[in-house]
Amino acid sequence: MAAPHRRRIVLSNVPLKSGESGKTEPAVEVITDDLKVEELFEGALRRVTVGTLPSVPASNEGTAPGSGIVLPGGVNVYFLELAPGAATPMHRTVSSDYVVVNEGTPTLITPKSSFSVADGKGNWDGVDETVLNPGDTAVQRGSMHAWSNKTDKWVRMLAVVVDAKPAKVTVNSKTEELGESWLQTA
């Protein structure tokens, strides 16, 4: 599937000019731009950022810069497109993600049980695979996961990624934070 031409239409308030006596509502500026496609994992995944909020509550002043997967203290919204037969590495981000399937049937892969990591590779005893359909929403809350496309058609999803506090686990009577982690594929 070729990446479709996507536009972003942003509406912003224009500051009232001094001397506009009696006017209480600002004009609205409409800016249209083309969304850029970012190729990840050698083209197996495409990400199209829709917008970012550097903090919540959001400020409607000025523009917000782009960011990586997680915008510290803020929110990212972008499209993800996964190539036929492709998969992402097993990973965890320090975020709460809301991923809505628009097109295709991706498989969400999660470890079946607790596991350890050695030399950047996960040592798990199997995985759970959950097939999502168009309209399904995955809510990912700082957990290890991977995406796979086991079909011959591109998958398109919309992701809303909200910065979060790290999840905590107790390991040998010590509390540890689960930070961002990207595991190597076997």
Residue 2 lies in a domain: no
Strand-pairing partners, residue 171, are 174
Of 78 and 22, more confident: 78
Q: What is the pLDDT at residue 169?
A: 82
Residue 175 lies in a domain: yes
- pLDDT tens digits, one per residue of 28-65: 766 778 888 889 889 888 888 877 767 777 766 665 55
SS3 41: helix
In sequence order, the 6+-apart residues with CB closer than 8 A to the CB of 23 are 16
Residue 69 lies in a domain: yes
Residue 1 lies in a domain: no
Residue 32 lies in a domain: yes
What gap in Å lies between CA 172 and CA 170, rounded to an integer? Answer: 7
Residue 20 lies in a domain: no
pTM: 0.75
Q: What is the CATH number of the domain that holds 140?
A: 2.60.120.10
Of 34 and 89, more confident: 89
Domains identified in the chain, total number: 1
Residue 36 lies in a domain: yes
What gap in Å lies between CA 109 and CA 90, rounded to an integer? Answer: 8
**Angle at the Cα of 36 from the Cα atoms of 33 and 42, rounded to 5 degrees:** 175
Q: Which domain holds residue 35?
A: 7-14+25-182
Indicate whether 7 pLDDT > 80: no
Are the C-beta atoms of residues 52 and 71 closer than 8 Å to each other?
yes
Residue 19 lies in a domain: no
| Poorest-pLDDT segment among 10-24, 68-82, 108-122 | 10-24
